[in-house]
Structure 1
Amino acid sequence: MKYLIILEPTETGFSAYSPDLDGCVAAGADRAETVALMQEAIAFHLEGLAGEGLPIPAPQSEPVLVEV
């Protein structure tokens, strides 16, 4: 499955979250590290849900850029 993640620059690097997975976040020193950590966080999050017998949320978010 592919989940949308949102990357945000911070004072010390980047942070990321997935709108489809509440509480699934990561932070790293740079963009590449943050994406890699987020991949691991999503896998861990989904394993935890499955281990608890909870449903795995289907990816639903999609990016849309609007011009203002």
Structure 2
Amino acid sequence: MAVSYSYSVILEPQEGGGFTVLVPALPEVVTEGDTEQEALANVEEAIRAILAYRRENGMAPPSDAHPEIRHVTVAA
């Protein structure tokens, strides 16, 4: 029976279109998609692949990270 894991993701719109997706708890996961739906489907696949790799190599799946977004204003 498969175990379910839930991870926070960061969906970042790209200037030229599409999205990049990051998973703070799994920094090795970086993916993208032309649409939000495609990007989220791609990140699910990438998370499954990394969790399988970790399982095969005796590594426990990490707990979710809870990213916080802050705005910083600088004069340049």
Short-chain TM bin:
0.7 to 0.9
Gaps of 5+ in 2: 72-76
1:12 CA displacement: 3.5
In the superposition, the TM-score normalised over structure 1's length comes to 0.84
1:26 CA displacement: 0.9
The CA RMSD measured in Å over matched residues stands at: 1.7
Distance 1:32 1:65 in 2: 25
Q: Which residue identity is paired with 2:39?
A: T
Gaps of 5+ in 1: none
The runs of at least 4 consecutive aligned structure 1 residues that moved more than 6 Å come to: none
Distance 1:39 1:14 in 2: 14
- 1:9 corresponds in structure 2 to 13
| Aligned-residue identity in percent | 29
Higher strand share: 1
Aligned runs of 1:53-64 on 2, under 5 Å?
A: 53-61=58-66
* Residue 49 (structure 1) aligned to one of 42, 54, 57: 54
Pair member with larger Rg: 2
In the superposition, the TM-score normalised over structure 2's length comes to 0.76
